[in-house]
Amino acid sequence: MTNASVREFKMPDVGEGLTEAEILKWYVQPGDTVTDGQVVCEVETAKAAVELPIPYDGVVRALHFPEGTTVDVGTSIIAVEVAGGAAPAQTEAPAAAVPAAEPEKPAEQPAARQPVLVGYGVATSSTRRRPRKQAQDPVARQAASAVQAELNGHGAAPASPAAPVAPAAPAAPAQRPLAKPPVRKLAKDLGVDLATVTPTGPDGVITRDDVHAAVAAAQAPQQAAPAAQPAAPAAPAPSAAPAAYDSVRETRIPVKGVRKATAAAMVGSAFTAPHVTEFVTVDVTRTMKLVEELKQDKEFAGLRVNPLLLIAKALLVAIRRNPDINASWDEAAQEIVVKHYVNLGIAAATPRGLIVPNIKDAHAKTLPELAASLGELVSTAREGRTSPSAMQGGTVTITNVGVFGVDTGTPILNPGESAILAVGAIKLQPWVHKGKVKPRQVTTLALSFDHRLVDGELGSKVLADVAAVLEQPKRLITWA
């Protein structure tokens, strides 16, 4: 192909400040033709699974990582050969394709396009400076080529160590350990000097595993010292046993993506916001009858009508009557931020873990509109197509544990929110109704709230209002 170039598409930050994503599935293979906007892979971040489109036309030359690999943001994941002029900022042509007589040309071309993905700016500034100096020996040239590849996010080894472009890098960087920013941060957090770490990655790049190995090696002498004492010879033995034991009787599942983010968020919420949970058991027989009637109403034709719909509406009514419950805590400003809108979160269990998408401006929706939004939210979550934006900006949440046959629970707040309502299973139970014990549809509600901004009185009023609406659904009209 004449006048062709190879463009490297880098892992973008598809969320807000996320540092890595896992490649779930490739939709293309080397040799395939791709067009601008075509989805080439699906990746999972800490928030959701997202499909990535390629921003240009060409032929796939290489996939740098297999499915299941977690890749840092800014790292090149796919190379595409395109026809035309020079490549923009995210393009990294092989060393052999760079003209020897024009070492400055690749550094000037990125200015033609404003960088839009994380990592482009670093690669551009680095490649502009390095061609101005000459390396002093072949070893420095090879190391400098590796440094340039690492900074540009290219995971593969240099195509030609003796290529003319290699001498353009200075000898000094060869003395600096090669590691990507997330790995450097990990080393700093663990107190590891990267100069003492043995690299195992491509081109001598230090990986996360290398840092952890260095920590383990540093701790080994400390653990070995007690072993020399008569009382501690058995200490090293248990460390060797679990490895073989685990492979036979245990399964280890890596915590990453949505599950990892959920775990961190729940720990942060549980130990930041002082939780209080209150409970109420309520007769929802009339609500269940109304659900059956609405299913026959032509206004709800084609819509999903279930108890959750009326529970959501009851919570929205309770919030309108007690607006201070719909708030958040601003730690930096030491202020309570009351929201005049309700983005209603619905906790959803998916194959990738628990997610909480929310219905934007749920307070302004009619009952049929709310039913449509709930149906779309649930189906999208089950299909794994929930976008990161759908999970941002929630104000209060409902979690329906009753679908699992559970009576109720003590839910943990979604970070940044002030309240979460747990709904238990709706069951026929003996209940005193009009002075007689009768079988009635009964459920237990639990409301957890942040006691920094919601006191017991306010939390109790909200929970009591939700229960009152579900017991007498005509209050949806009288309280509106």
Element (H, E) at 346: strand 344-346
Q: What is the DSSP letter of 27?
A: S
Task: Say whether 451 is catalytic.
Answer: yes
Backbone angles phi, psi at 172, to 5 degrees: -60, -45
CA distance 121 to 67: 27
Selecting among 64, 154, 363, 451, the annotated active-site residue is 451
Q: Would you say 19 and 182 are in contact if contact means Cβ atoms under 8 Å apart?
A: yes
| Sign of CA pseudo-dihedral 241, 243, 244, 247 | positive
Beta strands in 253-311 (DSSP E): 275-283
In the chain, what is the straight-line distance between the N-terminal and C-terminal CA atoms, in Å? 69
DSSP, residue by residue, 388-437? GGGGSS--EEEEEGGGGT-----PPPPTT-SEEEEE---EEEEEEETTEE
Query: Other C-beta atoms within 10 Å of 403: how many?
Result: 12
Q: What is the DSSP letter of 451?
A: T
Q: Would you say 89 and 124 are in contact if contact means Cβ atoms under 8 Å apart?
A: yes
Q: Would you say 9 and 78 are in contact if contact means Cβ atoms under 8 Å apart?
A: yes
Residue type, 175: Q
Which residues are tagged catalytic? 451
